[in-house]
Amino acid sequence: MRPLKAGRRTAGWRSRWCRSPWGSLTISDRYEKQDTGRWIEDTGFVKKLIPDDNDGARHQRFILDMANRQTLLIAHNIDLAERVPVAIGERISFRGMYEWNELGGLVHWTHDDPMGVEEGGWVRYRRNVYR
């Protein structure tokens, strides 16, 4: 596959950072298959706020309750994107990279690609998009 020029995005293109284009599988599908390193888009409710991870790139962290009763950790890079002013019980939507773990998984890459190659991800909260 030939490389894309900076700033060019093509539907279905696979980058060196992920194994698939934007997927249509749900969080429960990804979890059951122990599928990791895949893009996902979904909605959940904030269950718990966790202190920031300040080791390396800083990440805002919170746990979501998903529709299938699964929990999901969101790790939102606040060195690359604005902090999301979430509160417990609030609904958020997100797009990011799913990584499987026994606790339900985590989603990161909820920000624009700093190199401008990938579309990147986002967090939507109260009609505002944080990327």
Residue 62 lies in a domain: yes
Residue 97 lies in a domain: yes
For the segment 61-90, what is each residue's pLDDT rounded down to a tens digit? Answer: 999 999 888 999 999 999 999 999 999 999
CA–CA dist 67, 45 (Å, integer): 9
Give yes or no for residue 15 having a pLDDT over 60.
Answer: no
- Of 28-32, 47-51, 57-61, 86-90, which range is least confident? 28-32
Give yes or no for residue 2 having a pLDDT over 50.
Answer: no
Residue 43 lies in a domain: yes
Give yes or no for residue 97 having a pLDDT over 90.
Answer: yes
CATH number, domain with residue 96:
2.40.50.140
What residue numbers bound the domain in which 81 lies?
A: 38-130
- Of 17-26, 69-78, 105-114, which range is least confident? 17-26
22 confidence band (pLDDT: 50, 70, 90): very low
CA–CA dist 44, 56 (Å, integer): 27
Q: What angle do CA 50, 85, 83 make, to 5 degrees?
A: 80
Residue 116 lies in a domain: yes
**Which pLDDT does position 124 carry in this prediction?**
97
Give yes or no for residue 110 having a pLDDT over 90.
Answer: yes
Residue 3 lies in a domain: no
Give yes or no for residue 8 having a pLDDT over 70.
Answer: no
Residue closest to 41 by CA, chosen among 54, 52, 56, 30: 30
Number of domains in the chain: 1
Residue 23 lies in a domain: no
DSSP H or E stretch at residue 32:
helix 27-32
- Non-local (6+) Cβ contacts of 123 within 8 A are 74, 76, 81, 84, 92, 93, 94, 110, 129, 130, 131
Q: Mean pLDDT, to the nearest integer, of 2-23?
A: 40
